[in-house]
Structure 1
Amino acid sequence: MDLTILTVDFINSMAAETGDLSSGSAVAGLEATRATIMARANILAEGPLADSNTQKTYIVRTDSVNLASAFGTTALAELQTNIRAIPAAVCTADVTGATVTGTRLGILTAAAIAL
């Protein structure tokens, strides 16, 4: 299975954005981001908030991507645009400057850590 690792840098802290999107919470930015990604790809795993609660990483199946360009630069740009457009009604943090970076999982043999 081919995996794509997406890191969303929200720029601003998302620590308070833990509300329930389905209940109409005004602080559901993390769930709104998850829903935005899930509209395009199956999320297999996600990491915790990092870098002073401004970044979060998601692992998705590359072959599940619901965009014509797979996870090329066009798809990443579209995803970034959609995350930036998360409405203030469900996210009090300013996500208008958020960025999305994608990478593939790969470990160079010289960098592998012995078991």
Structure 2
Amino acid sequence: WAERCDPPEVAAWVQVSDLALSVVEAERGQLWLWASALSTGAPAPGVSLQWLETYPTAGRSLARWETDERGWAEVPRLREEGCRDASDDASDDDNARSLEGTQLLVARRGSDVLLWPAPLSSSGS
């Protein structure tokens, strides 16, 4: 730290949830999310998934999905210029959202909430 005025910052992320999310990357950037219950390993149907921007516009919704009866949710292709909201049948151009800034994936089922603060890809990048 001799060269720096401030010591390095350290952050920790702790959450308690029975939800688990797995990301599977398919052809051409298509992503699938699989939600399961950690307590049983069973699929978690009906999980509400919301992609939020946290910076620069905190809380802006970029997209929403919900897992099916098998715990799967097909994620519209995420592109540099935006993403499509799965609940909207509008064209990609009409529904494009900026993916610049910092994002957060929020998964909810009942009172159980899981936060995923990493980029949405199977490689973690």
Q: More strand by proportion, 1 or 2?
A: 2
How does the TM-score come out when normalised to structure 2? 0.32
Which has the larger Rg?
A: 2
How does the TM-score come out when normalised to structure 1? 0.34
